[in-house]
Structure 1
Amino acid sequence: MDIKKLFFIPLFIGLAACCFKAAAATVDTVLTHSTAMNKDIKAVVIKPADYSNTKKFPVLYLLHGFSGNYSDWIKKVPAVAGLADTYHFIVVCADGDFAGWYFDSSIVKDSQYETYVGTELVNWVDKHYSTITDRKGRAITGLSMGGHGALFLAFKHLDKFGAAGSMSGAVDIRPFPDSFGIERVLGKYSEHPDRWEQNSVVNLIYLLKPNSLAITFDVGYDDFLYQANQELHEKLLERKVPHDYTVRPGAHTWEFWGNSINYQALFFSRFFNGIK
Structure 2
Amino acid sequence: MKSKFPFLLALAFFCLISLHALASVDTVATFSSAMQKEIKAVVITPKDYSESKDYPVVYLLHGYSGDYKAWLGQVPLLESYADQYGMIIVTPDGNFGSWYWDSPEVENSKYETYVGKELIEFVDKEYSTIQSREGRAITGLSMGGHGALYLAFRHQDTFGTAGSLSGGVDIGPFPENWEMKKYLGTKAQNPERWEEYSVMYQSNRLIPNRLALIISCGTEDFFYDVNVKLHEKLAYNNIPHSFMSGPGGHTWEYWADAVQYQLLFFHQYFEKGK
Same fold (TM over 0.5): yes
Deviations 1:173-201 (A, max 9, x none): 01111110101111111111111101111
For residues 160-199 of structure 1, the aligned pairs below 5 Å read 160-199=158-197
Task: Tell me the distance in 2 between the aligned counterparts of 1:186 and 1:123.
Answer: 27
Task: Tell me the distance in 1 between the aligned counterparts of 2:223 and 2:58.
Answer: 24
The residue number in structure 1 matching 2:250 is 252
1:228 pairs, out of 226, 233, 236, with 226
Deviations 1:28-60 (A, max 9, x none): 111001000000000011111011111100000
Task: Tell me the distance in 2 between the aligned counterparts of 1:58 and 1:3.
Answer: 51
Task: Tell me the distance in 2 between the aligned counterparts of 1:119 and 1:199.
Answer: 18
For residues 212-223 of structure 1, the aligned pairs below 5 Å read 212-223=210-221
Deviations 1:105-154 (A, max 9, x none): 12211100000000000001001100000000000000000000000000
1:261 pairs, out of 241, 259, 262, with 259
Unmatched 5+ stretches in structure 1? none
1:238 pairs, out of 236, 239, 242, with 236
The residue number in structure 1 matching 2:129 is 131
For residues 40-51 of structure 1, the aligned pairs below 5 Å read 40-51=38-49
Task: Tell me the distance in 2 between the aligned counterparts of 1:237 and 1:3.
Answer: 70
The residue number in structure 2 matching 1:109 is 107
Task: Tell me the distance in 1 between the aligned counterparts of 2:184 and 2:261.
Answer: 33
Task: Tell me the distance in 2 between the aligned counterparts of 1:157 and 1:18.
Answer: 41
The residue number in structure 2 matching 1:16 is 15
The residue number in structure 1 matching 2:25 is 27
Shift of 1:208: 1.0
Deviations 1:72-104 (A, max 9, x none): 101111111111111110000011110100000
Secondary structure of residue in 2 paired with 1:257: helix
Task: Tell me the distance in 1 between the aligned counterparts of 2:14 and 2:66.
Answer: 39
Shift of 1:16: 3.4
Shift of 1:206: 1.6
- Are residues 1:204 and 2:164 paired? no
Shift of 1:248: 0.9
RMSD, aligned α-carbons: 1.7
Amino acid aligned to 2:66: G
Distance 1:221 1:14, change over 3 A: same
Task: Tell me the distance in 1 between the aligned counterparts of 2:188 and 2:6.
Answer: 74
Secondary structure of residue in 2 paired with 1:75: helix
Task: Tell me the distance in 2 between the aligned counterparts of 1:15 and 1:30.
Answer: 30
Shift of 1:12: 4.8
1:95 pairs, out of 75, 93, 96, with 93
Q: How many residues align?
A: 273
The residue number in structure 2 matching 1:274 is 272
The residue number in structure 2 matching 1:81 is 79
Amino acid aligned to 1:29: T
Task: Tell me the distance in 2 between the aligned counterparts of 1:179 and 1:99.
Answer: 11
Amino acid aligned to 1:42: K
Secondary structure of residue in 2 paired with 1:204: helix
Secondary structure of residue in 1 paired with 2:30: strand
Unmatched 5+ stretches in structure 2? none
Shift of 1:11: 5.5
Q: TM-score, normalised by structure 2?
A: 0.95
Q: Percent identity?
A: 51
Task: Tell me the distance in 2 between the aligned counterparts of 1:77 and 1:119.
Answer: 26
Secondary structure of residue in 1 paired with 2:40: strand
Q: TM-score, normalised by structure 1?
A: 0.94
Task: Tell me the distance in 2 between the aligned counterparts of 1:102 and 1:190.
Answer: 22
